[in-house]
Amino acid sequence: MFEDATFETMGTIHTHSRNWMIATFGLNASILAALIAIPLFYPSMLPQMVNSWLLESPPIVEEARPVVHQAPATTSPSEMRDGRIQAPTTVPTHPWIPTTPEPPQSTNIGDLAGPAAIPGIGCDPVNCSHVRPIVQQAAQTKPHISQGVMEGMLIYKALPTYPTPARAMRIAGRVQLQATISRNGTIENLRVVDGPALLQAAAVEAVKQWRYRPYLLNGEPVEVETTINVDFTMN
């Protein structure tokens, strides 16, 4: 009997809980339906409802900016008016004097060595009366005398020895030499210009012994340049 009473009590509690849940769900559904239906039937109430639900944002504070007052630019009166120069309204009583003096300028004409200076001397025409120009004598070149003229002045001629290798190989030809004839007629600065290689040494050795009469220019013996040819023949 006690167990029957317990089951009955539990059933009653379960029935009340279910009824309370159904009632709560119905209330919530009614509120939600009202929130949806009011804007549909009364659109003018929607802004008021939104403003009441939303939190007001804090006002935007603008940053304070310093106020800059621009001073009016002062303009000096122009000295030109209608295309004409106007006299100044005020005249300064104290003239401006520079604090640093200018360096003294040279007044000596001799110090001015510019375009007016004589080339090679370094002074101007006014102060050059005591200066004598330096005249450098140009280097004299040795006159070149033809071979025919120098052959007439030849006083001793040594004949070259025919080289044995050149004779065995039957090499013949002309060796051309360039020489300087000194003031006393000796051979100087003898050099080979052209000719067979096997014959050059023999030609140089022979010409070194040649002697000439001194060549006179204005009655004075001078050095001259000339060309000397030495011929080698098999007969």
pLDDT at residue 188 tops 70: yes
Q: How confident is the model at residue 170 (pLDDT cuts 50, 70, 90)?
A: very high
Q: How confident is the model at residue 57 (pLDDT cuts 50, 70, 90)?
A: low
pLDDT of residue 49: 62
Q: How confident is the model at residue 2 (pLDDT cuts 50, 70, 90)?
A: very low
Write down the residue that tokens 């007629």 correspond to: 185
Q: What angle do CA 186, 191, 197 make, to 5 degrees?
A: 130
More confident residue, 55 or 149: 149
Least confident segment among 34-38, 50-54, 81-85, 96-100: 50-54
13 in any annotated domain = yes
More confident residue, 128 or 224: 224
End of a domain among 13, 33, 50?
50
Rounded to whole angstroms, what are the CA distances from 201 to 180, 186, 192, 193?
Answer: 18, 19, 9, 12
102 in any annotated domain = no
Rounded to an integer, the average pLDDT of 203-211 is 95
- Residue 145, Cα to own-chain centre: how many angstroms? 55
Rounded to an integer, the average pLDDT of 110-126 is 52
Whether the Cβ atoms of residue 124 and residue 109 lie closer than 8 Å to each other: yes
pLDDT of residue 229: 94
Residues in the chain, total: 235
End of a domain among 34, 50, 66?
50
Domain limits at 161?
144-232
End of a domain among 26, 50, 74?
50
pLDDT at residue 228 tops 50: yes
Distance (Å, rounded) from C-alpha 228 to C-alpha 195? 12
Rounded to an integer, the average pLDDT of 14-23 is 76
Distance (Å, rounded) from C-alpha 140 to C-alpha 136? 12
H-type alpha helices, 54-134: none
204 in any annotated domain = yes
pLDDT of residue 41: 65
pLDDT at residue 207 tops 90: yes
pLDDT of residue 17: 73
Rounded to an integer, the average pLDDT of 71-86 is 60
pLDDT of residue 34: 74
pLDDT of residue 164: 92
Considering its fold, how many domains does the chain have in total? Answer: 2
More confident residue, 131 or 197: 197
pLDDT of residue 187: 94
201 in any annotated domain = yes
7 in any annotated domain = yes
Whether the Cβ atoms of residue 210 and residue 157 lie closer than 8 Å to each other: yes
Contacts 24+ apart (CB under 8 A), 118-125: none
20 in any annotated domain = yes
CATH number, residue 210: 3.30.2420.10
